Amino acid sequence: MRDADIIWRVAICCIGFGLFQTPNMRALMSSAPAHRSGSAISIVATARLTGQTIGAALAALCFSRAGHDGAALALGAGFAGLGSVMSFLRLAAGAARLTRCDGRGTQHRTVQHFPVARAYS
């Protein structure tokens, strides 16, 4: 595999991580009280590092067990697909929670307001 093939694949992953982590961190940090922002960021960092460690171990296990027939790639694609389905189900549940019906069948959008935690007040 050429270097250019690896670079464009890593670039796609980096774009995906950036698109996910920025709004996710903003939502987490804005939902925490200002005096607990240090605890919130440490929990996020611990969860991220734990996920990276488990992911690297599972990737190594898949590659060591699968050989060179492409089974590791199929297994990785299956895990990615499962993660996508779980994420979409979470989004659908959140959208359903934001929409409520009154007794006459009329739907109303409810808005949840989260306090903004500011690091520098």
Residue 109 pLDDT level (bands cut at 50, 70, 90): low
- 121 is written with which tokens? 């007040």
pTM: 0.49
Q: What is the pLDDT of residues 55-96, one digit of tens each?
A: 888 878 777 776 666 777 777 788 888 888 888 888 777 776
How far apart (Å, rounded) are the C-alpha atoms in residues 44 and 50? 10
Q: So what's the pLDDT on residue 86?
A: 85
- 23 is written with which tokens? 């709004």
Q: Which of 27, 49, 44, 36 is CA-nearest to residue 112?
A: 27
Residue keyed to tokens 């190594």 = 60
> Domain spans of the chain?
68-109
